[in-house]
Amino acid sequence: MNCQFSGSVIGQSYYIVVRHRNHLETWSDSAVLLSQNSTYDFSTMAGKAYGNNQVELEPNIFAFYCGDINQDGVIDGLDYNDWETDNNNFSAGYLATDLNGDGIADGLDFIYWEQNNNGFVGS
């Protein structure tokens, strides 16, 4: 994702916050001084996120935790309830319950939810 900044934010420091339909809200580890050409890459290390709150997908590649379907800041049974409803209804489309991004809510999404739920992941 790329963002361009202008106006009064240039030259100021801000935390970068990313919100996504089914991922934990994730903040930068510290405030970032913004310019028109600022860059910030969360994927290079867990420590780029506040509290190292990322998962390592492969060596030296990090990502946000998925499974916070109801956006309450924790991956838990309440998210499962939403996933189960869509799974049982064979739901398809751009859904918060579609954790792997293939367009359907099914058992392949459950795998991601289960792993993060069992890891007590929260923001």
pLDDT of residue 123: 82
Question: Strand (E) positions, the chain?
Answer: 13-14, 17-20, 23-27, 32-33, 55-58, 61-63
pLDDT of residue 38: 81
pLDDT digits (tens, 9 = 90+) for 56-85: 999 999 999 999 999 999 999 999 999 999
Query: Phi and psi at residue 25, in whole multiples of 5°?
Result: -60, 130
Listed by start position, the domains of the chain span 7-63, 77-117
pLDDT of residue 120: 85
pLDDT of residue 37: 77
pLDDT of residue 121: 83
Q: Please list the ranges in the chain whose pLDDT falls under 50.
A: none
